Amino acid sequence: MRTRTCIVLAAACAGAFAAYKRDLSAFYVAIAWGSLTYLLHTMEFKLNTLLDQRGIIISPRDIAED
């Protein structure tokens, strides 16, 4: 199963559970969390694709230098 599908299913399940419990704030949090996670994953996927096309390799050591 694709990662994006899992994110959407998790957000939908959390939203459905919040709706079942009649907790409007939890429903909004579930929808916001799912949307943000979906968008961040999409951006990461596109960035990785762009880096692969350009032949740019980033090692974990380079990331740890922050």
Q: Express each pLDDT in 7-38 by its tens digit.
A: 999 999 999 999 999 999 999 999 999 999 99
Indicate the pTM of the whole model.
0.78
Please indicate, yes or no, if residue 16 is contained in any of the structural domains. yes
Please indicate, yes or no, if residue 29 is contained in any of the structural domains. yes
Whether residue 66 is predicted with pLDDT greater than 70 in this model: the reply is no
Please indicate, yes or no, if residue 64 is contained in any of the structural domains. no
Whether residue 1 is predicted with pLDDT greater than 80 in this model: the reply is yes
Q: Which amino acid is at 21?
A: K
Report the Cα 11 to chain-centroid distance in Å.
10
Please indicate, yes or no, if residue 62 is contained in any of the structural domains. no
- Return the percentage of the chain with pLDDT > 90, whole number: 82
Please indicate, yes or no, if residue 7 is contained in any of the structural domains. yes
At residue 60 the predicted structure's pLDDT band, cuts being 50, 70 and 90, is confident
Please indicate, yes or no, if residue 36 is contained in any of the structural domains. yes
Please indicate, yes or no, if residue 44 is contained in any of the structural domains. yes
Please indicate, yes or no, if residue 65 is contained in any of the structural domains. no
Count of structural domains within the chain:
1
Host domain of residue 22: 3-54
24-54 helix and 3-20 helix, angle to the nearest 10 degrees: 170
